[in-house]
Structure 1
Amino acid sequence: MRTEHRPSPAVARPNPWQWLRYAFGGRLPRRLSAWVLADTTGPGWARRHLSRSVVQLMPLVVLCMFVPVGTAYRLTAALGGLLVGLMYSLALMVETTEHRVAKAGYPAGTAARLREERAERARTARVEQRHPYRVGGAGSFD
Protein backbone atom coordinates (compact mmCIF):
# COMPACT_ATOMS: atom_id res chain seq x y z
CA MET A 1 0.00 0.00 0.00
CA ARG A 2 1.31 3.44 -0.87
CA THR A 3 1.94 5.91 1.88
CA GLU A 4 0.19 9.24 1.80
CA HIS A 5 2.31 12.34 1.52
CA ARG A 6 1.57 14.42 4.58
CA PRO A 7 3.42 17.66 5.00
CA SER A 8 4.85 18.40 8.39
CA PRO A 9 3.32 21.22 10.42
CA ALA A 10 6.29 23.35 9.38
CA VAL A 11 5.38 23.23 5.66
CA ALA A 12 5.81 26.61 4.06
CA ARG A 13 2.58 28.43 3.28
CA PRO A 14 2.09 31.02 0.54
CA ASN A 15 1.86 34.66 1.50
CA PRO A 16 -1.43 36.46 0.71
CA TRP A 17 -0.23 37.69 -2.71
CA GLN A 18 1.02 34.23 -3.66
CA TRP A 19 -2.27 32.69 -2.52
CA LEU A 20 -4.24 35.20 -4.60
CA ARG A 21 -2.13 34.37 -7.65
CA TYR A 22 -2.63 30.66 -6.89
CA ALA A 23 -6.40 31.18 -6.54
CA PHE A 24 -6.46 32.65 -10.06
CA GLY A 25 -4.55 29.65 -11.44
CA GLY A 26 -0.97 30.84 -11.09
CA ARG A 27 1.94 28.61 -10.26
CA LEU A 28 3.53 28.77 -6.82
CA PRO A 29 7.29 28.51 -6.13
CA ARG A 30 8.65 24.95 -5.99
CA ARG A 31 9.20 25.16 -2.22
CA LEU A 32 5.39 25.37 -1.79
CA SER A 33 4.67 22.15 -3.70
CA ALA A 34 3.96 20.19 -0.51
CA TRP A 35 1.45 22.87 0.51
CA VAL A 36 -0.31 22.63 -2.88
CA LEU A 37 -0.63 18.86 -2.47
CA ALA A 38 -2.00 19.21 1.05
CA ASP A 39 -4.38 21.97 -0.09
CA THR A 40 -5.85 19.85 -2.88
CA THR A 41 -5.97 16.48 -1.10
CA GLY A 42 -6.43 17.12 2.61
CA PRO A 43 -9.68 17.22 4.52
CA GLY A 44 -11.74 20.18 3.33
CA TRP A 45 -10.18 20.27 -0.15
CA ALA A 46 -13.57 20.79 -1.82
CA ARG A 47 -14.42 23.69 0.50
CA ARG A 48 -11.06 25.31 -0.27
CA HIS A 49 -11.68 24.80 -3.99
CA LEU A 50 -15.03 26.58 -3.72
CA SER A 51 -13.39 29.41 -1.75
CA ARG A 52 -10.88 29.90 -4.57
CA SER A 53 -13.75 29.88 -7.06
CA VAL A 54 -15.60 32.60 -5.16
CA VAL A 55 -12.41 34.70 -5.16
CA GLN A 56 -12.11 34.19 -8.92
CA LEU A 57 -15.72 35.27 -9.47
CA MET A 58 -15.63 38.36 -7.24
CA PRO A 59 -14.36 40.74 -9.98
CA LEU A 60 -17.38 39.76 -12.10
CA VAL A 61 -19.74 40.37 -9.20
CA VAL A 62 -18.15 43.76 -8.49
CA LEU A 63 -18.34 44.76 -12.15
CA CYS A 64 -22.05 43.90 -12.21
CA MET A 65 -22.59 46.53 -9.54
CA PHE A 66 -21.46 49.28 -11.95
CA VAL A 67 -23.75 48.43 -14.87
CA PRO A 68 -26.12 51.38 -15.39
CA VAL A 69 -29.41 49.57 -14.74
CA GLY A 70 -31.68 49.16 -11.75
CA THR A 71 -30.40 47.63 -8.53
CA ALA A 72 -32.59 44.55 -8.86
CA TYR A 73 -31.09 43.79 -12.29
CA ARG A 74 -27.54 44.27 -11.02
CA LEU A 75 -28.10 42.03 -8.01
CA THR A 76 -29.77 39.36 -10.14
CA ALA A 77 -26.93 39.44 -12.68
CA ALA A 78 -24.29 39.27 -9.94
CA LEU A 79 -26.00 36.40 -8.13
CA GLY A 80 -26.74 34.55 -11.37
CA GLY A 81 -23.15 34.91 -12.55
CA LEU A 82 -21.88 33.71 -9.19
CA LEU A 83 -24.17 30.67 -9.17
CA VAL A 84 -23.38 29.67 -12.76
CA GLY A 85 -19.66 30.13 -12.11
CA LEU A 86 -19.85 27.97 -8.98
CA MET A 87 -21.80 25.32 -10.88
CA TYR A 88 -19.04 25.09 -13.49
CA SER A 89 -16.44 25.12 -10.76
CA LEU A 90 -18.10 22.15 -9.07
CA ALA A 91 -18.39 20.29 -12.36
CA LEU A 92 -14.67 20.71 -13.03
CA MET A 93 -13.43 20.48 -9.44
CA VAL A 94 -11.46 17.24 -9.74
CA GLU A 95 -9.80 18.24 -13.03
CA THR A 96 -8.91 21.69 -11.73
CA THR A 97 -7.30 20.40 -8.56
CA GLU A 98 -5.45 17.73 -10.54
CA HIS A 99 -4.08 20.45 -12.82
CA ARG A 100 -2.90 22.46 -9.80
CA VAL A 101 -1.05 19.44 -8.44
CA ALA A 102 0.57 18.75 -11.83
CA LYS A 103 1.73 22.39 -12.02
CA ALA A 104 3.30 21.90 -8.59
CA GLY A 105 5.45 19.11 -10.04
CA TYR A 106 3.58 15.95 -9.08
CA PRO A 107 2.64 13.22 -11.58
CA ALA A 108 -0.82 13.32 -13.13
CA GLY A 109 -3.36 11.49 -10.98
CA THR A 110 -1.57 12.09 -7.67
CA ALA A 111 -4.33 14.17 -6.06
CA ALA A 112 -7.11 11.76 -7.02
CA ARG A 113 -5.07 8.78 -5.82
CA LEU A 114 -4.31 10.38 -2.45
CA ARG A 115 -7.94 11.42 -1.92
CA GLU A 116 -9.09 7.88 -2.77
CA GLU A 117 -6.54 6.35 -0.37
CA ARG A 118 -7.71 8.70 2.39
CA ALA A 119 -11.35 7.81 1.69
CA GLU A 120 -10.52 4.08 1.77
CA ARG A 121 -8.76 4.46 5.13
CA ALA A 122 -11.81 6.34 6.46
CA ARG A 123 -14.16 3.57 5.21
CA THR A 124 -11.97 0.91 6.82
CA ALA A 125 -11.91 2.82 10.10
CA ARG A 126 -15.72 3.12 10.08
CA VAL A 127 -16.09 -0.63 9.46
CA GLU A 128 -13.62 -1.43 12.24
CA GLN A 129 -15.49 0.91 14.56
CA ARG A 130 -18.82 -0.80 13.82
CA HIS A 131 -17.35 -4.31 13.92
CA PRO A 132 -14.43 -4.22 16.38
CA TYR A 133 -14.11 -8.02 16.57
CA ARG A 134 -13.84 -8.55 12.82
CA VAL A 135 -10.08 -8.69 12.27
CA GLY A 136 -9.51 -10.95 9.27
CA GLY A 137 -11.53 -11.17 6.08
CA ALA A 138 -15.29 -11.39 5.81
CA GLY A 139 -16.69 -13.57 8.53
CA SER A 140 -13.40 -14.46 10.19
CA PHE A 141 -12.96 -13.86 13.89
CA ASP A 142 -9.76 -14.19 15.86
Structure 2
Amino acid sequence: MTSSPTPTRPNPIQFVGYILGRTLPASMQAWVRDDVLGPGGSRRFLLRWNLPVIPPLLLFLLIPGPVWLPIMMILLLLLPWTYFSVALMPIWQRHRLQQHGLDPGLLGVKDRERAMREREAYERRHGRVA
Protein backbone atom coordinates (compact mmCIF):
# COMPACT_ATOMS: atom_id res chain seq x y z
CA MET A 1 0.00 0.00 0.00
CA THR A 2 1.46 3.35 -1.03
CA SER A 3 0.78 6.59 0.73
CA SER A 4 0.23 9.80 -1.15
CA PRO A 5 3.16 12.21 -1.13
CA THR A 6 3.05 15.11 1.30
CA PRO A 7 1.73 18.17 -0.55
CA THR A 8 4.17 21.04 -0.96
CA ARG A 9 1.66 23.51 -2.42
CA PRO A 10 -1.66 24.52 -0.87
CA ASN A 11 -4.88 23.36 -2.47
CA PRO A 12 -7.49 26.04 -3.27
CA ILE A 13 -9.17 25.81 0.16
CA GLN A 14 -5.83 26.01 1.97
CA PHE A 15 -4.78 28.91 -0.26
CA VAL A 16 -7.89 30.93 0.61
CA GLY A 17 -7.27 30.19 4.29
CA TYR A 18 -3.64 31.28 3.86
CA ILE A 19 -4.75 34.52 2.24
CA LEU A 20 -7.08 35.12 5.19
CA GLY A 21 -4.25 34.53 7.70
CA ARG A 22 -4.36 30.82 8.51
CA THR A 23 -1.22 28.74 8.96
CA LEU A 24 -0.32 26.09 6.41
CA PRO A 25 1.11 22.67 7.33
CA ALA A 26 4.87 22.38 7.94
CA SER A 27 5.31 20.51 4.64
CA MET A 28 4.55 23.78 2.82
CA GLN A 29 7.21 25.93 4.51
CA ALA A 30 9.27 26.19 1.32
CA TRP A 31 6.21 27.42 -0.57
CA VAL A 32 5.45 30.00 2.14
CA ARG A 33 9.08 31.21 2.11
CA ASP A 34 8.96 31.62 -1.67
CA ASP A 35 5.54 33.31 -1.49
CA VAL A 36 6.70 35.85 1.09
CA LEU A 37 10.32 36.42 0.04
CA GLY A 38 10.59 35.06 -3.49
CA PRO A 39 10.40 36.93 -6.78
CA GLY A 40 7.15 38.86 -6.93
CA GLY A 41 6.47 38.55 -3.20
CA SER A 42 6.03 42.29 -2.75
CA ARG A 43 3.72 42.50 -5.76
CA ARG A 44 1.61 39.60 -4.46
CA PHE A 45 1.36 41.22 -1.03
CA LEU A 46 0.23 44.55 -2.48
CA LEU A 47 -2.36 42.88 -4.73
CA ARG A 48 -3.74 40.79 -1.88
CA TRP A 49 -3.87 43.81 0.41
CA ASN A 50 -5.23 46.43 -2.00
CA LEU A 51 -7.62 44.58 -4.33
CA PRO A 52 -10.28 43.86 -1.65
CA VAL A 53 -10.48 47.59 -0.87
CA ILE A 54 -11.25 48.70 -4.42
CA PRO A 55 -14.89 47.46 -4.79
CA PRO A 56 -16.14 49.37 -1.72
CA LEU A 57 -14.26 52.46 -2.90
CA LEU A 58 -15.98 52.22 -6.28
CA LEU A 59 -19.25 52.92 -4.47
CA PHE A 60 -18.09 56.55 -4.34
CA LEU A 61 -18.78 56.68 -8.09
CA LEU A 62 -22.48 56.52 -7.25
CA ILE A 63 -22.35 59.93 -5.59
CA PRO A 64 -24.09 62.47 -7.84
CA GLY A 65 -22.12 65.40 -9.13
CA PRO A 66 -19.06 65.90 -11.30
CA VAL A 67 -17.11 62.68 -11.92
CA TRP A 68 -13.85 64.17 -10.62
CA LEU A 69 -15.27 64.48 -7.10
CA PRO A 70 -15.76 60.73 -6.39
CA ILE A 71 -12.46 59.96 -8.14
CA MET A 72 -10.68 62.37 -5.82
CA MET A 73 -12.41 60.81 -2.80
CA ILE A 74 -11.28 57.35 -3.95
CA LEU A 75 -7.71 58.58 -4.36
CA LEU A 76 -7.84 60.34 -1.01
CA LEU A 77 -8.42 56.96 0.63
CA LEU A 78 -6.52 54.64 -1.70
CA LEU A 79 -3.19 56.49 -1.79
CA PRO A 80 -2.59 56.50 2.00
CA TRP A 81 -3.87 52.91 2.18
CA THR A 82 -1.27 51.86 -0.41
CA TYR A 83 1.46 53.97 1.24
CA PHE A 84 0.89 52.36 4.63
CA SER A 85 0.62 48.88 3.16
CA VAL A 86 4.08 49.35 1.59
CA ALA A 87 5.44 50.74 4.86
CA LEU A 88 4.06 47.83 6.89
CA MET A 89 5.03 45.10 4.42
CA PRO A 90 8.23 44.02 6.28
CA ILE A 91 6.26 43.68 9.52
CA TRP A 92 3.68 41.50 7.78
CA GLN A 93 6.41 39.43 6.11
CA ARG A 94 8.16 38.86 9.45
CA HIS A 95 4.84 37.82 11.00
CA ARG A 96 4.07 35.34 8.21
CA LEU A 97 7.53 33.79 8.48
CA GLN A 98 7.23 33.40 12.27
CA GLN A 99 3.68 32.10 11.94
CA HIS A 100 4.91 29.25 9.73
CA GLY A 101 7.96 28.41 11.86
CA LEU A 102 10.53 30.05 9.58
CA ASP A 103 13.42 32.24 10.69
CA PRO A 104 12.41 35.92 10.46
CA GLY A 105 16.09 36.66 9.82
CA LEU A 106 15.49 35.49 6.26
CA LEU A 107 13.78 38.81 5.66
CA GLY A 108 16.97 40.87 5.31
CA VAL A 109 19.30 38.29 3.74
CA LYS A 110 19.38 39.95 0.30
CA ASP A 111 19.96 43.40 1.80
CA ARG A 112 22.78 42.13 4.02
CA GLU A 113 24.46 40.35 1.09
CA ARG A 114 24.21 43.48 -1.06
CA ALA A 115 25.65 45.63 1.75
CA MET A 116 28.53 43.18 2.21
CA ARG A 117 29.33 43.25 -1.53
CA GLU A 118 29.24 47.05 -1.55
CA ARG A 119 31.53 47.22 1.49
CA GLU A 120 34.02 44.80 -0.10
CA ALA A 121 33.99 46.81 -3.33
CA TYR A 122 34.53 50.02 -1.33
CA GLU A 123 37.45 48.51 0.58
CA ARG A 124 39.03 47.21 -2.65
CA ARG A 125 38.66 50.62 -4.29
CA HIS A 126 40.34 52.39 -1.38
CA GLY A 127 43.13 49.85 -0.79
CA ARG A 128 41.96 48.50 2.55
CA VAL A 129 41.91 44.86 1.46
CA ALA A 130 45.22 43.05 1.27
TM-score, normalised by the number of residues in structure 2: 0.65
User: Taking structure 1 as reference, are residues 104 and 62 closer, same or farther at Cα in structure 2, changes over 3 Å only?
Assistant: farther
Across the aligned residues of Structure 1 and Structure 2, the Cα RMSD in angstroms comes to 3.2
1:124 lines up with 2:130 in the alignment: no
Q: Indicate which of 31, 35, 40 corresponds to 2:31.
A: 35
- Structure 1 residue ranges without an equivalent (≥5): 1-10
Distance 2:100 2:84 in 1: 23
Distance 2:13 2:59 in 1: 22
Query: Match for 1:68: what amino acid?
Result: I
Aligned to 1:79, the other structure's residue is in SS state helix
Aligned position for 2:80: 84
Distance 1:20 1:62 in 2: 24
Aligned position for 1:64: 60
Distance 1:57 1:87 in 2: 14
User: Taking structure 1 as reference, are residues 120 and 64 closer, same or farther at Cα in structure 2, changes over 3 Å only?
Assistant: same
Q: What number of residue pairs does the alignment pair up?
A: 120
Distance 1:39 1:99 in 2: 13
Q: Indicate which of 26, 39, 44 corresponds to 2:21.
A: 26
Percent pairwise identity: 29
Query: Match for 1:95: what amino acid?
Result: I
Answer yes or no: is the 8 Å Cα contact 1:57–1:85 preserved in 2.
Answer: no
Distance 1:14 1:82 in 2: 31
Pick the structure with more helix per residue.
2
Query: Match for 1:69: what amino acid?
Result: P
Aligned position for 1:49: 45
Residue 16 of structure 1: how far off its partner (Å): 6.2
Aligned to 1:29, the other structure's residue is in SS state coil
User: Which structure's CA Rg is the greater one?
Assistant: 2
